[in-house]
Structure 1
Amino acid sequence: MKQLKFNIDSKIKQLFQYEETKNIFDTYLPGMRSRLESQKGVSSFSLRKVISYSGGAISESAIEKIDQALQNVIVYVDDTEITEYTKQQPLTTASAEMKAEGMYTSIRPGKVWRDTEGKRIQTHGGALYYEDGIYYWYGENKDRTDGNCTVWTWGIRVYRSKDLYNWEDLGLMIEPILDNPNSGLYPEKHVDRPHILKCEKTGKYVCWIKQSGEEACFLILEAECFTGPYQIVKENYRPFDWEVGDFDLIKTEDKKAYLFMDVNHNGIYGFELSDDYQKAEKEISRQYENLHPPFCREAVALFERNKKKYMLTSGMTGYIPNKSDAAYSDSWTEPFQSIGNPHPEDESHSSFNSQISQVFQVPGKKDLYIAIADRWVPDYPIDKRRADLIMRSVASHYEPEKYPMTEEEKREIMDRPMLEDVNTSKADYVWLPLRFEDEKVYIDWSDEWRIEDYE
Structure 2
Amino acid sequence: MKYYRFLLPAFLLLSIIGRAQTKLSSFSPGAIWPDDKGVHINAHGGGILYNNGVYYWFGEHKIAGDAGNRAMVGVHCYSSKDLYNWKDEGISLSVSPDTTNDIAKGCILERPKVVYNKKTKKYVMWFHLELLGKGYSAARAGVAISDKVTGPYKFIKSYRPNPGQMPFYPALTPEADKVNCVNPANKSDGFFCRDLPGGQMARDMTVFVDDDGKAYHVFSSEENFTLDLAELTPDYTGHNGKFIRIYIGHQTEAPALFKRNGIYYMIGSGCTGWAPNAARWFSAKSIWGPWTYHGNPCQGPDSQITYGGQSTHVLPVAGKKDAFIFIADKWTPKDAIDGRYLWLPINFKGNDIEINWTDNWNLDVFKK
**Is the aligned partner of 1:355 residue 2:310?**
yes
Letter of the structure 2 residue corresponding to residue 328 of structure 1: S
**Is the aligned partner of 1:233 residue 2:156?**
yes
**Is the aligned partner of 1:257 residue 2:215?**
yes
1:239 & 1:112 partners in 2: Cα distance? 40
> Structure 1: 5+ residue runs without aligned partners?
1-95, 378-420
Name the CA shift for 1:440/1:150 in 2 (closer, same or farther; >3 Å).
closer
> Counterpart in 1 of 2:6?
none
SS of corresponding position for 1:351: helix
**Which is worse superposed, 277-286 or 333-342?**
277-286
> Counterpart in 2 of 1:216?
139
> Counterpart in 2 of 1:141?
61
**Is the aligned partner of 1:303 residue 2:258?**
yes
Name the CA shift for 1:163/1:235 in 2 (closer, same or farther; >3 Å).
same
Name the CA shift for 1:366/1:235 in 2 (closer, same or farther; >3 Å).
same
1:308 & 1:346 partners in 2: Cα distance? 29
**Is the aligned partner of 1:176 residue 2:99?**
no
1:194-205 correspondence runs (5 A):
194-205=112-123
> Counterpart in 1 of 2:20?
100
> Counterpart in 1 of 2:167?
none
Contact 1:145 1:152 in 2 (8 A): no
> Counterpart in 2 of 1:242?
200
> What TM-score, normalized by structure 1, do the two folds share?
0.65
Higher share in strand: 2
Name the CA shift for 1:129/1:328 in 2 (closer, same or farther; >3 Å).
same
Letter of the structure 2 residue corresponding to residue 175 of structure 1: S
> What TM-score, normalized by structure 2, do the two folds share?
0.80
SS of corresponding position for 1:250: strand
In the TM superposition, residue 367 of structure 1 has moved relative to its aligned partner by 1.4
Letter of the structure 2 residue corresponding to residue 103 of structure 1: K
Percent sequence identity over aligned pairs: 31
Higher share in helix: 1
Name the CA shift for 1:354/1:233 in 2 (closer, same or farther; >3 Å).
same
In the TM superposition, residue 125 of structure 1 has moved relative to its aligned partner by 0.3
Contact 2:55 2:83 in 1 (8 A): yes
Contact 1:323 1:341 in 2 (8 A): yes
> Counterpart in 2 of 1:316?
271
1:424 & 1:149 partners in 2: Cα distance? 6
Contact 1:199 1:276 in 2 (8 A): yes
Question: What count of residue pairs does the alignment treat as equivalent?
Answer: 311
Find the partner of 1:159 among 57, 69, 78: 78
Contact 1:269 1:283 in 2 (8 A): no
1:150 & 1:289 partners in 2: Cα distance? 28
> Counterpart in 2 of 1:451?
363
> Counterpart in 2 of 1:287?
246
Deviations 1:178-201 (A, max 9, x none): 2x1132322311100011111122
2:328 & 2:35 partners in 1: Cα distance? 17
Letter of the structure 1 residue corresponding to residue 352 of structure 2: K
RMSD of aligned residue pairs (Cα, Å): 2.0
In the TM superposition, residue 150 of structure 1 has moved relative to its aligned partner by 7.8
Deviations 1:390-411 (A, max 9, x none): xxxxxxxxxxxxxxxxxxxxxx
1:95-134 correspondence runs (5 A):
100=20, 102-134=22-54
In the TM superposition, residue 147 of structure 1 has moved relative to its aligned partner by 3.1
Contact 1:110 1:430 in 2 (8 A): yes
1:159 & 1:152 partners in 2: Cα distance? 18
Name the CA shift for 1:145/1:185 in 2 (closer, same or farther; >3 Å).
farther
1:256 & 1:156 partners in 2: Cα distance? 25
2:117 & 2:155 partners in 1: Cα distance? 16
Name the CA shift for 1:272/1:447 in 2 (closer, same or farther; >3 Å).
same
